[in-house]
Amino acid sequence: MPTVGEVIRKVTGWLGPVESRVDTLKSGSTEAEVKGIVTTFMPSYSVLLQTAQLGSNLVIAHEAPFYHHMDKVEMLEDDIVFRRKQNLIEKKEMSIFRLHDHMHRNNPDGIVQGLIQDLDWSKYIVQPSIEGLLPLNTPPLSIPAISLKAVAEYVKRKLDVSYVKVVGNLSMQCSRVGVLPGYTGGGELAIPFLRRENLDLVIIGEGPEWETPEYVRDAIAVGMHKALIIIGHLRSEESGMKYLAESVKSMFPLLPVQFIAEDPPFQLV
């Protein structure tokens, strides 16, 4: 069986060279023999328990296990949640590798590609107006004209989310669409994307509420045809990690490889 280090080198090599300070081994050893691989968006306590129940010991996760992008865990040293999660990882001898920048800096962006595939919109990809200036290597889409409300309902159904946030006239027709998964919905990325690609609608994971949502509100107020749908970070990005599992399985056909989904943490009350 391959070691953790061999799996990491093969997967990252397949995605291509990327300089990253966050795509690192968060726990375990590169010398450990891999019994099974799990891909996931978030290595939550629940996902780690399921990984252990499967008998797998390598988790390839898009996000960090301890709640900080740059792994600053000093504030958690005496925290019971941190200790119990760390104890679980150590007891089950799990290796956790974060695969964040490699997914996003690939061309096409692996997370964007997964989201578009799950929305069944790959056939609607069109050429950008200006090559090389797209955020996240994400292409614009030209879908059959459909109301904003119908798009929102479609996204909810395809991504299995109970709700999305919407800014815009629910009856407006949308055709030219862009997607920005994860925390890329801020004004610095989303507003130029909307403008440069003449988008009717941008669908984002999340971002500051005072930036893109307020821009879209003002755009509507001055008579422009614009709308915004906010999915949430988790559901907007986990599709890419689901499709990654298929690629990893083809690289290591003798190993059990499985994607584990996680529910969004929020409830509407």
Tokens of 142: 């030209």
Instruction: Assess whether 38 and 149 both reside in one domain.
Output: no
230 occurs within a structural domain: yes
The structural domain count of the chain equals 2
Q: What is the 3-state secondary structure (H, E, C) of the chain?
A: CCEHHHHHHHHHHHHCCCCCCCCCEEECCCCCECCCEEEECCCCHHHHHHHHHHCCCEEEECCCCCCCCCCCCHHHCCCHHHHHHHHHHHHCCCEEEECCHHHHHCCCCHHHHHHHHHCCCHHHECCCCCCCCCHHHCCCEEEEEEEHHHHHHHHHHHHCCCCCEEECCCCCEEEEEEEECCCCCCHHHHHHHHHHCCCCEEEECCCCCCCHHHHHHHHHHCCCCCEEEECCHHHHHHHHHHHHHHHHHHHCCCCCEEECCCCCCCCCC
Q: 269 lies in a domain?
A: no
Is residue 131 located within the same domain as residue 95?
no
Instruction: Indicate whether 21 and 111 sit together in one domain.
Output: no
In a domain, 23, yes or no: yes
Do 113 and 71 sit in the same domain of this protein? no
Tens-place pLDDT, residues 148-175? 999 999 999 999 999 999 999 999 999 9
CATH number reported for the structural domain that contains residue 119 in this entry:
3.40.1390.30
Does a structural domain hold residue 251?
Answer: no
Domain boundaries, position 187 = 107-235
Q: Please check whether residue 255 lies inside any domain of the structure.
A: no
Residues 115 and 226 in one domain: yes
pLDDT in tens, 182-233: 999 999 999 999 999 999 999 999 999 999 999 999 999 999 999 999 999 9
Is a pLDDT exceeding 90 seen at residue 260? yes
- Among 55, 85, 104, residue at a domain's last position: 104
Residues 20 and 45 in one domain: yes
Per-residue pLDDT band for 135 (boundaries 50, 70, 90) equals low
How much is the pTM?
0.94
